[in-house]
A and B are shown apart, each in its own frame.
Chain A
């Protein structure tokens, strides 16, 4: 009974831990079962030796699993020792590779070996609670509590432990309160810090490499000139292919990030993915494309190129030696797919983590003022973004021959230049995207620019041939809970999934249109540097917070009622002594708990004839060598308890079935 119960508790905790890996949590459950093999060993050898043998077996298994896991690392011990930092820097959930799975499986195995042996000994019912806590906390640390957002698994564990204690263990007077409090503490520890969960990954610096990667924006013009040249072809869903994401703007140019790490071993992005995402798998075959940039999709989670590196925040893929014609690979990525109606009211984050997406060193006054005018009627961040997209697009034409560049000066010419002058009101996607990004940043929208390729319809063979003319750039704005949302200031809002919502916003804003400054001001005065523009005030409270507390408020009484019910069932099955304990519970609830030195018949004197008869039955069952069955004991107990209950005021009757105090009484 006890090994079974503790096994169930451990399996639940182990499967919860297993969710931190991208694979089958069943492995973790099996690991628990394997750990219980120690019980078999214990028949032939002392418990300590059995534990030692099992642990040696486990570590030997881990050693062989890691032997060939990492190419170029011949020492499996080193791989094993490295596996925890690797795990903490791996993607989330961690890929199911042997060297990453091994520490988790070993933890589960070791815990179950120790717990199984401890439980089979006499007085160690504390062990399952401790083991489950270890596994649960490990899982919570690995995922920062994301796999159990509402603490339901923790609650299930507490419930299992409590029920086990009530049913399997009727002796230990200390263990249940201690275990219960521990479990409750663990629950609170998981539930409370959700706003700012402890993140062990912050303690580990992920391995990164400095790679000098060129900014592909200037390439846009030359690609436009190449026209129909096939750069690469893909097979998979119709999604935009990304080449490089540019997050840093110096006022003169966009800069490509230079910090890259192996995919799967880099830290989490500075801004998390949205809550609604799509997984896309694309096969790519490189054609005429050259350079270090590797076309990817969304935020890549895996790529079949073993030496590809990724920029942790944007997910841009690069290959140090550059791509070559004929290179084939498969890339899997996650795309944010926000809901239009929710976007309309979405907020944008503020704070240090978005500072780089708002940076505009030495922003000219003309651009800042222009942006302010554009959004003067917009109420939400999304409306601001749509208004800017519309204004940038309006009356400006794409021109492949326009001068390149994304400096403030080039953007001012692009936006305000008198028609006729070079680059005025005309530009490539570079100017459209950059203008949008600068204007949006100046009104507090975290924005970045992506260089990539438009989605291409599939040819009859199923291949999507991406040509040089499909190269483009587009800005993306980050919305809380929804991730990076792309905008298209080049072709506007005519099509696409968010077209309807954009039209709605534009209709509302139609009454006002921003006016460019008078043409006489050919050189607008420069504004003071505004590195961090006034952020848009946004509510910080996350939407998942309230239901959690509501759930807790509802679950706690339910849990208490369940525990009391389980106790009642147990007492009912325990014959007259159980029935007498039920009466004592009632007395405790009524505040009339008798002194420990009073005998049952003495206590029963105030409980009417039913209480008296029950006390005699209970004494007989407890102290006589041949206690006969007494089926009437329970009904006597209920009569006596009812009599006790009648004497308490109504407000105590309300909480009668939920009061946890009897749970502490043995």
Chain B
């Protein structure tokens, strides 16, 4: 089936998306927007970078998502002495069979939580990012494919920067979107604190889908209709970031392509079989902000890429229905 996606299929996807969201929300309270974004990244075949302080539920979120889709989730705690092979896996000699056997690393999972990815050495980071891009691990000349779906949720602690290796721009570009969970609202926090609430308990997350179903939807959603005016709008946004004086580096074409992919899934999660300008505006910041590089002056003056992006969104005209 390669025909354009229709209303019925989209509604089925919205149901699935809602069910997944509801299931994850039993463990992660009051963060539906972040859950939705992570699910969008998963269906769009991208990866998520969570920038947040410790203790906001990053790990819980990743494990809950894995639980809800019935897949495998693994966690890698990145440290300066972590080696690439600790991440990807290594070949070992099996004395029983007398053969060299590949022992898969923690990346062989549907959801991989790369905790504090900026603490690892550049070599390890790049091994991780290579897997994210290629979805294959090559050890001793043999390629080993990671399971499908494959979602990396990496976290970065923006506060404690001593002894960290900042992710270079080229590697940040590999993440489909960057967001932060943030602290919950007072009500949600009370809910989490209340004994026996079930919040943070992964075992309570119901499995509502299967990796196979996710893969199938992911493939189909790439056919969702994005009208030419919307593509032009996205291109205009990219051009506007490239000509903004506060930025040293604007959005790349790859960044814009990723935005289109994310917009397709986002539109379907809203029950539409076509994208609208509002989808682009909703996703522009999480998808594009981490790909922009500020000039030195802008950094010193305290400007953020999110601010620049919201200025750009406020100036580029949206395609009018009329």
Contact = CB atoms under 8 A, between A and B. Distances in A.
Interface of A: 571, 574, 576-578, 580-581, 584, 595-602, 615, 618-625
Contact of A625 (B274, B314, B322): B274
B273 A624 contact: yes
Contacts of A581: 320, 322
A624 B274 contact: yes
A625 B321 contact: no
A625 B276 contact: no
Contacts of B317: 596-597
B273 A576 contact: no
B227 A623 contact: yes
Nearest to B228: A623
Contact of B318 (A577, A598, A625): A598
A580 B274 contact: no
Contact of A577 (B272, B281, B322): B322
A623 B314 contact: no
Interface in B299-322: 313-322
Given A597-B316, A597-B317, A620 B322 contact: no
Given A577-B321, A620-B274, A623-B275, 10 more contacts: A578-B322, A596-B317, A599-B278, A601-B276, A602-B278, A622-B229, A622-B321, A623-B227, A623-B276, A625-B227
Which of A576, A601, A625 has the most chain B CB atoms inside 10 A of its CB?
A625
Nearest to B314: A597
Interface in B210-265: 225, 227, 229-230
Give the interface size class of chain B. 20 to 34
B70 interface: no
Contacts of B321: 576-577, 580, 600, 615, 618-619, 621-623
Given A623-B227, A623-B230, A599 B322 contact: no
Contact of B229 (A596, A598, A600, A623): A623
B278 A601 contact: yes
B277 interface: yes
A622 B227 contact: yes
B4 interface: yes
Contact of A624 (B225, B278, B315, B318): B225
Given A580-B322, A618-B321, A623-B227, A595 B314 contact: yes
6 A-B pairs with least C-beta separation = A581-B322, A596-B317, A618-B321, A622-B321, A624-B274, A623-B227
A150 to B, nearest CB: 38
- Do most interface residues of chain A lie in helix, strand or loop, or is the interface mixed? helix
A596 B318 contact: yes
A300 B317 CA distance: 69
A638 to B, nearest CB: 15
Contacts of B274: 620, 623-625
A610 to B, nearest CB: 16
B315 A597 contact: yes
A625 to B, nearest CB: 5
A511 B118 CA distance: 122
A21 to B, nearest CB: 48
B273 to A, nearest CB: 7
Which of B229, B273, B277 has the most chain A CB atoms inside 10 A of its CB?
B277
Nearest to B274: A624
- Do most interface residues of chain B lie in helix, strand or loop, or is the interface mixed? loop
Contacts of A620: 272, 274
A574 B277 CA distance: 20
Contacts of A600: 276-277, 320-321
Contacts of A624: 225, 227, 272-274
B277 A599 contact: yes
Nearest to A576: B321
Contacts of B225: 623-625
A595 B315 CA distance: 8
Nearest to A582: B322
Contacts of B318: 596-599
Nearest to B6: A626
A625 B277 contact: no
A599 B315 contact: no
Nearest to B227: A623
A126 B246 CA distance: 42
Nearest to A620: B274
A576 to B, nearest CB: 7
Nearest to B276: A619
Contact of B4 (A596, A601, A623, A625): A625
Contacts of A618: 321-322
A221 B272 CA distance: 107
B309 to A, nearest CB: 12
Which of B230, B316, B318 has the most chain A CB atoms inside 10 A of its CB?
B318
Nearest to A600: B321
A232 B217 CA distance: 109
A577 B276 CA distance: 14
B270 to A, nearest CB: 11
B290 to A, nearest CB: 22
A569 B320 CA distance: 19
Nearest to B273: A624
A428 B281 CA distance: 102
Contacts of B272: 620, 624
26 contacts: A574-B322, A584-B320, A596-B318, A597-B314, A597-B315, A597-B316, A597-B317, A600-B321, A601-B278, A602-B278, A615-B321, A618-B321, A619-B276, A619-B321, A620-B274, A622-B320, A622-B321, A622-B322, A623-B225, A623-B230, A623-B274, A623-B277, A623-B319, A624-B225, A624-B227, A625-B274
B321 to A, nearest CB: 4
Which of B316, B317, B320, B321 has the most chain A CB atoms inside 10 A of its CB?
B321
A599 B276 contact: yes
A563 B295 CA distance: 51
A599 B275 CA distance: 12
Contacts of B320: 577, 580-581, 584, 600, 622
Contacts of A574: 322
A635 to B, nearest CB: 17
A577 B322 CA distance: 4
Which of B272, B278, B316, B322 has the most chain A CB atoms inside 10 A of its CB?
B322
A234 B318 CA distance: 83
A599 B281 contact: yes
Nearest to A627: B274
A595 B274 CA distance: 24
Contacts of B273: 624-625
A622 B315 contact: no
Nearest to B4: A625
A580 B276 CA distance: 15
A580 B320 CA distance: 9
Contacts of B4: 625
B227 A597 contact: no
Contacts of A596: 317-318
A204 B58 CA distance: 92
A549 B114 CA distance: 81
A98 B321 CA distance: 57
A431 to B, nearest CB: 84
Nearest to B315: A597
B25 to A, nearest CB: 25
A597 B313 contact: yes
Nearest to B282: A599
Nearest to B224: A625
B135 to A, nearest CB: 31
A578 B322 CA distance: 6
A574 B320 CA distance: 14
A466 B321 CA distance: 84
Nearest to A595: B314
A514 B321 CA distance: 87
Nearest to B5: A625
B274 to A, nearest CB: 4
Contacts of A601: 276, 278
A322 B278 CA distance: 93
Nearest to B280: A599
A40 B265 CA distance: 52
A621 B318 CA distance: 15
A571 B278 CA distance: 24
